[in-house]
Structure 1
Amino acid sequence: MADSTGLSKAAKKNQKRRGTGEQNEVDLIQNLRDQLTEAKANKDHALANELRQKLWIAQDLNAGLKPAIDKDDDKARKLLNTVTNEGLGTQKDTVQVVAPSVTSNADQDEKKMKNLQKKLKKIEELKVKKEAGEKLENNQLKKIETESDVLEEIEHLKKLMNVTAKR
């Protein structure tokens, strides 16, 4: 259970074990989360995507993992440099460069597309229930409200999948 600081007891224990140097890294991650929430609220999808990638990189670095970045992915490399310059200090030799793996990216994209289509189907089912006069829970009503976001994400993913297929 989280207390007034927003951290669970386990997170606080881990923070104590790691020492106080962890606080700047946690602040950066929380700052990125806040910026991402704000970008989503403003429906700035391009900024939200960039912040999401920065957050993934920052969390990997914070966990002591080496972000796997394709050697041809200049945008991800720039984001990595930005994140490391903002506070999560790592040496350049900790970055693992992997050969591009079209199949794994394609598999991930296909999996994400299936999940998004599944969400869209659930939303459609909820809309039918609502139109039939069935009383829906608050979380179900909120899910219906996310339909436009899901559709935009599907379109964005389709564009990405077409770009990677042309390579």
Structure 2
Amino acid sequence: MFLFSNIEQEPLLLYSYKRSFNGFAAKLTEEEAQKMTGMAGVVSVFPSGKQKLHTTRSWNFIRFHENVKRSTVESDIIVGMIDTGVWLESASFSDAGFGPPPKKWKGTCQGSSNFTCNNKIIGARYYHNGRPFVKGDIKSPRDLDGHGTHTASTAAGNLVSKASEIP
């Protein structure tokens, strides 16, 4: 599928989503977006935008407090995240006391000069979906805005003392 701007005549399709749901991201004028909103089969059209972090106390937010009894069922699990990357130096991702990755692991660590996996973060990749790299992009799974680190540490990070305290 190709979308063209009436003015620039260059492809404006940024991403096409086909696995979890059917949709796409594109650069559209306000007029083009309004026109598309009225088309048969279009469920919704909405602008892209950055969101602020909702909380720094994620465990409390999801009502999973630190004093919840932990079990060995939580071990030998691989958690996959698709986000802005990860900051390996965070105490949440220390691999102290971890053995090698599970034998069933078939992934890879697409490291770079500023990113090397460990026994906690056992795999990482960066993607660009065919668009050219622009100023500020890095060819690395390193997190530049903190969102990926926040969500990954909430889902699978180590317990870090006083991490939720507001300075």
Give yes or no for TM over 0.5.
no
TM-score (structure 2 length as normaliser):
0.26
Greater share of residues in helix: 1
TM-score (structure 1 length as normaliser):
0.26
Highest RCO, 1 vs 2 (Cα 8 Å, sep ≥ 6): 2
